[in-house]
């Protein structure tokens, strides 16, 4: 079976990576070169670069930036935005791209697809289709989702396949940025209607969404942006998750950073493992692993040590349920120590504290609540109000925070202390969900407040 691909997407505006919801509410997401380098390290199968305003602004793609990124990566690189002629394609290919993506220009001039295919081969042509469900039909949109066309999505997919497209990048505008999951119906319909690969885009918010995509549709690849940009789901972690769910993916680790290169010296020897909270970066505990413990940790995504007192492998939390859920595993420069970043379930220490290096919970309950909120969202718990609100998108979350703030102000004018404290708790709770939706943590806010306190 062909391996499924995981593809991060760099939506570029004014030379910066950006991300929006439903093609609007654009926000900065970081430096594209640094993100590209990180994705190679994490094991991305390909990288897509889309200059999202090139067509609207009637200009060419940012060729210089394409060239800078191409020099830093060694995975297939697709570039789109503002490509209207064979000359544009030539410039992009010379800059280092392996494929070009055409969207609005293909709708305007379908023969461009055939021209590119004839000149560079079908494998070079990716036709991007931005689709939206309106009036009971999935319709094609152009100009960055601003303009509706009379084209029906499935018919257009068949047409571009006949013209020589080698792949289709299908983005559901209804799902884009919502983190509510891929548009399974149209993705599967398009995949079954044509005989070329389909990259599904729009709506990824959890590891389970990728698993559902590959299980219930014939899509060849899943593309996402913000969940990768903001490190909500590291690509390496996602691939191990899919592999553990019997979905074929390519696991490629750079030899220099391959954690299985750690120097165990002998099969039963132990190496120290530092465990750190993935969000707060607080050091939680120190343990030891042998080679079998590391393999079990990678396979199950729960930290497993070798217990010298028990003389066996020991999964942290196997008795208490306070597991350490693996987010990433890193190897130090000497290949003899591991750093594992985790999302802890409950207190880490057997004394009931957050960390084994303090007698009391050092960060307080509010940080534990942040972890609980993050876990319910990451696990996509459908019964959880937290998860349900989060999946409705950032606009709904922000609206809810505004409502709670107004209610708190109203209660501040009354004399009922219990109601005031209750409304304050509601506001704080929803504020933490908003932080998660924006990709920030309490640690980020704390840093700003500390800086201000110095002034």
Catalytic site residue from 11, 51, 88, 343? 11
pLDDT score, position 115? 96
Provide the β-strand partners of residue 343: 325
Domain residues for the domain of 310 are 265-344
- The C-alpha atoms of residue 38 and residue 338 are separated, in whole angstroms, by 19
Q: Are residues 51 and 169 in the same domain?
A: yes
Q: Are residues 195 and 296 in the same domain?
A: no
Residue 350 lies in a domain: no
- The C-alpha atoms of residue 389 and residue 377 are separated, in whole angstroms, by 10
Output the CA angle 1-249-185, nearest 5 degrees: 75
pLDDT score, position 455? 63
| Pure H helices in 347-393 | 365-378, 385-391
Q: Are residues 55 and 183 in the same domain?
A: yes
Q: Is 126 helix (H, G, I), strand (E, B) or coil?
A: strand
Residue 256 lies in a domain: no
- The C-alpha atoms of residue 407 and residue 426 are separated, in whole angstroms, by 9
- The C-alpha atoms of residue 3 and residue 128 are separated, in whole angstroms, by 22
Q: Are residues 123 and 223 in the same domain?
A: yes
Q: Give the CATH number for residue 419.
A: 1.10.287.1080
Q: Is 108 helix (H, G, I), strand (E, B) or coil?
A: helix
Q: Are residues 35 and 179 in the same domain?
A: yes
Go through the chain and tell me how many residues it has: 455
pLDDT score, position 252? 64
Catalytic site residue from 45, 51, 88, 130? 130
Residue 422 lies in a domain: yes
pLDDT score, position 369? 86
Q: Give the CATH number for residue 145.
A: 3.20.20.70
Q: Are residues 330 and 372 in the same domain?
A: no
Ranges in the chain, pLDDT < 70: 1, 14-15, 19-30, 52-61, 252-268, 358-364, 454-455
* Whole-angstrom Cα Rg for the chain: 24
Q: Are residues 277 and 238 in the same domain?
A: no
pLDDT score, position 23? 44
Task: Give the containing element (helix H, strand E) for 40.
Answer: helix 32-42
341 touches 374 (CB < 8 A): no
Mark whether 332 is an active-site residue.
no
Classify the phi-psi angles of 181: left when phi > 0, otherwise alpha if psi is within -120 to 50, otherwise beta: left
437 touches 394 (CB < 8 A): yes
Q: Are residues 334 and 202 in the same domain?
A: no
Count the neighbouring beta carbons within 10 Å of the beta carbon of residue 122.
Answer: 17
Q: Is 118 helix (H, G, I), strand (E, B) or coil?
A: helix
Residue 352 lies in a domain: no
Domain boundary among 289, 310, 344: 344
Backbone angles phi, psi at 148, to 5 degrees: -85, 140
Residue 258 lies in a domain: no
Mark whether 11 is an active-site residue.
yes
Residue 92 lies in a domain: yes
Q: Are residues 56 and 157 in the same domain?
A: yes
Give Cα separations from 153 to 27, 65, 128, 281, 445 (angstroms): 28, 31, 11, 45, 44
Q: Are residues 380 and 339 in the same domain?
A: no
pLDDT score, position 220? 96
- The C-alpha atoms of residue 325 and residue 23 are separated, in whole angstroms, by 33
- Whether this prediction's pTM lies above 0.85 is answered by no
Output the CA angle 232-303-300, nearest 5 degrees: 75
| Pure H helices in 125-220 | 153-163, 184-193, 207-216
CA 106, 108, 110, 116 dihedral sign is: negative
pLDDT score, position 416? 80
264 touches 271 (CB < 8 A): yes
Q: Are residues 26 and 152 in the same domain?
A: yes
User: Tokens 């410039």 correspond to what residue?
Assistant: 91
pLDDT score, position 417? 81
pLDDT score, position 24? 47
- The C-alpha atoms of residue 41 and residue 47 are separated, in whole angstroms, by 12
Cβ-count burial of 429 within 10 angstroms (0-12 exposed, 13-18 middle, 19+ buried)? middle
pLDDT score, position 265? 60
Domain boundary among 244, 279, 298: 244
Q: Is 53 helix (H, G, I), strand (E, B) or coil?
A: coil
Q: Give the CATH number for residue 308.
A: 3.10.20.810
Residue 253 lies in a domain: no
179 touches 227 (CB < 8 A): yes
Residue 115 lies in a domain: yes
Backbone angles phi, psi at 379, to 5 degrees: -80, -5
Number of structural domains the chain divides into: 3
Cα maximum dimension of the chain = 77
Domain boundary among 196, 214, 244: 244
Q: Are residues 274 and 307 in the same domain?
A: yes
């Amino acid at each position: 079976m062909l391996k499924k691909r995981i593809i991060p997407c760099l939506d570029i505006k004014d030379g910066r990576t950006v991300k929006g919801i439903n093609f609007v509410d654009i926000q900065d997401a970081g430096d594209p070169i640094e993100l590209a380098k990180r994705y190679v390290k994490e094991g991305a199968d390909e990288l897509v670069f889309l200059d999202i305003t090139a067509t609207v602004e009637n200009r060419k793609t940012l060729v210089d930036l394409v060239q800078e990124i191409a020099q830093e990566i060694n995975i297939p690189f697709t570039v789109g935005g503002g490509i209207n002629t064979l000359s544009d394609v030539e410039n992009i290919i010379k800059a280092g791209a392996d494929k070009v993506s055409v969207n609005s220009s293909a709708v305007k001039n379908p023969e461009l697809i055939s021209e590119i295919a004839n000149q560079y081969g079908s494998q070079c042509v990716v036709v991007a289709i931005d689709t939206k469900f309106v009036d009971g039909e999935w319709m094609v949109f152009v100009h960055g989702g601003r303009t509706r066309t009379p084209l029906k999505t499935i018919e257009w997919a068949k047409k571009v396949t006949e013209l020589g497209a080698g792949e289709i990048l299908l983005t559901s505008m209804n799902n884009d940025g919502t983190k509510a999951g891929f548009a399974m119906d149209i993705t599967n319909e398009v995949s079954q209607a044509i005989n070329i690969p389909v990259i599904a885009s729009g709506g990824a918010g959890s590891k389970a969404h990728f698993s559902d995509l590959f299980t219930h549709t014939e899509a060849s690849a899943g593309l996402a942006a913000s969940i990768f940009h903001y490190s909500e789901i590291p690509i390496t972690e996602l691939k191990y998750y899919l592999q553990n769910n019997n979905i074929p993916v390519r696991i490629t680790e750079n030899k220099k950073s391959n954690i299985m290169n750690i120097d165990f010296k002998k099969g039963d020897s132990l190496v120290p493992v530092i465990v750190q909270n993935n969000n707060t970066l607080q050091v939680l505990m120190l343990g030891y692993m042998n080679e079998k413990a590391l393999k079990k940790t990678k396979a199950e995504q729960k930290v497993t040590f070798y217990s010298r007192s028990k003389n066996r492998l020991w999964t942290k939390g196997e008795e208490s349920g306070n597991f350490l859920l693996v987010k990433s595993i890193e190897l130090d420069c000497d290949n003899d120590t591991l750093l594992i970043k985790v999302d802890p379930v409950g207190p880490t220490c057997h004394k009931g504290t957050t960390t084994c290096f303090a007698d009391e919970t050092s960060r307080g309950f509010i940080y534990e609540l942040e972890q609980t909120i993050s876990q319910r969202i990451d696990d996509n718990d459908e019964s959880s109000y937290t998860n349900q609100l989060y999946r409705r998108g950032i606009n709904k979350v922000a609206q809810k925070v505004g409502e709670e703030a107004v209610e708190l102000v109203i209660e501040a004018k009354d004399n009922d202390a219990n109601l005031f404290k209750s409304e304050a708790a509601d506001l704080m709770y929803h504020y933490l969900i908003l932080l998660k939706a924006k990709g920030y943590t309490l640690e980020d806010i704390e840093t700003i407040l500390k800086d201000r306190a110095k002034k």
